[in-house]
């Protein structure tokens, strides 16, 4: 599934006589930023949850638990 993230901003436009003339619609595509923030958060959670593992099996179990909580 492809998703995209956007930030929208609408601003009314008025003439010199304070008469409404239209709307300025600004849009910024933020998909890269949103994905980067999600990935960084996932890595942080993964490191936090696996830091105390003392065996490889414990590490794998904790890593699987951490990743299963993050569906994004």
Q: 38-60, pLDDT tens digit by residue?
A: 999 999 999 999 999 999 999 99
At 1 the pLDDT is 63
Residue 19 lies in a domain: yes
End-to-end Cα distance, the chain: 11
Mean pLDDT of all residues in the chain?
92
Residue 64 lies in a domain: yes
Residue 46 lies in a domain: yes
Mind giving me the DSSP string for 33-47? HHHHHHHHHHHHHHH
Residue 10 lies in a domain: yes
What domain range includes position 25?
6-68
In the chain, the number of structural domains is 1
Q: How many CB atoms lie within 10 A of CB 70?
A: 11
At 71 the pLDDT is 79
Nearest to 1 by CA among 45, 31, 44, 40: 31
Higher local confidence (pLDDT), 69 or 11: 11
Residue 70 has pLDDT above 90, yes or no: no
Residue 1 lies in a domain: no
Tokens 């956007």 found at:
6
């Amino acid at each position: 599934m492809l998703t995209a993230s956007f930030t929208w901003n609408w601003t009314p436009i008025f003439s010199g006589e304070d008469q409404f003339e239209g709307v300025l619609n600004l849009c910024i595509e933020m998909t890269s930023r949103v994905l980067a923030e999600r990935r960084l958060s996932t890595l942080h959670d993964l490191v936090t949850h696996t830091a105390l593992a003392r065996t490889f099996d414990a590490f794998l179990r904790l890593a699987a638990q951490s990743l299963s909580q993050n569906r994004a």
